Amino acid sequence: MMYTNKISIQILTFACIVSTLIILCSITLKAQDIPPPNPSLEINIVTGHSVQFIFDEIDEYKNGIVNGGQSTFIRIGAISNWSLLFKADQTMFYGDVNPANQMELNNVGLMVISTGTNLDNGSNIVNYAKNLPLALSDTDVTLMTNGTLSNKGYGIKNAFTLNWEMGSQRGNMNNLSMLQQMINEDSYTINIILTLQANL
């Protein structure tokens, strides 16, 4: 039993030379609900369908953007214990203008903050993205699963804020800065898939 929700990310980079290099990078996050094959599992994206990262200072290009307001708020409904996974639908970011321009997926990371009544301290939920971000990958990465107690429930029980970051070199993200990678000017688009699965 699985429920999948698809999120698409678009990245735009621009380079300008005016005595220093200034690069702008923006990510647009869009979500589309896909009806679940099993109504006993549900992901509801409440807010944060669009997210942007704008790199307009050299410090941002060196250190990335963390906690800049790029967030998605979700609620999970389940009548059984569950796990939440995420992944990209391709192996790399490819430029829309020039597909030869590439950027590694692990430049994007995700932290999860529980705002619901099911605790993410290992009792109801084990949150693998609580203290450090988990990097985006083209294979499923488990964000959360049930703890020693049950994590089933609807509404306020399973409410979460997904905090997106880019280029921060934290956790298992790319350890090179965006500046060191010398990413080419282009527009980059990718889909991110959130998968909610029942733990039997």
- DSSP line for 3-19: EEEEEEEEEEEEEEEES
Whole-number pLDDT of residue 181: 94
User: What pTM was computed for the model?
Assistant: 0.83
Those residues with Cβ within 8 angstroms of residue 47's Cβ, 6 or more apart along the chain or in another chain = 71, 72, 73
Query: Rounded to an integer, what distance in angstroms lies between the CA atom of residue 105 and that of residue 111?
Result: 15
Domain boundaries along the sequence of the chain: 2-198
Q: Are 15 and 128 in contact (CB under 8 A)?
A: no
Phi, psi at 44, each rounded to 5°: -120, 115
Whole-number pLDDT of residue 136: 95
Q: What is the DSSP letter of 52?
A: -
Q: Which amino acid is at 43?
A: I
Whole-number pLDDT of residue 27: 44
Phi, psi at 59, each rounded to 5°: -60, -40
Whole-number pLDDT of residue 38: 58
Query: Rounded to an integer, what distance in angstroms lies between the CA atom of residue 47 and that of residue 45?
Result: 6
Give per-10-residue mean pLDDT for the chain (200 aa): 50 36 40 51 82 79 87 91 91 90 94 96 97 96 97 93 94 96 81 85
9 burial level (CB within 10 Å; 0-12, 13-18, 19+)? buried
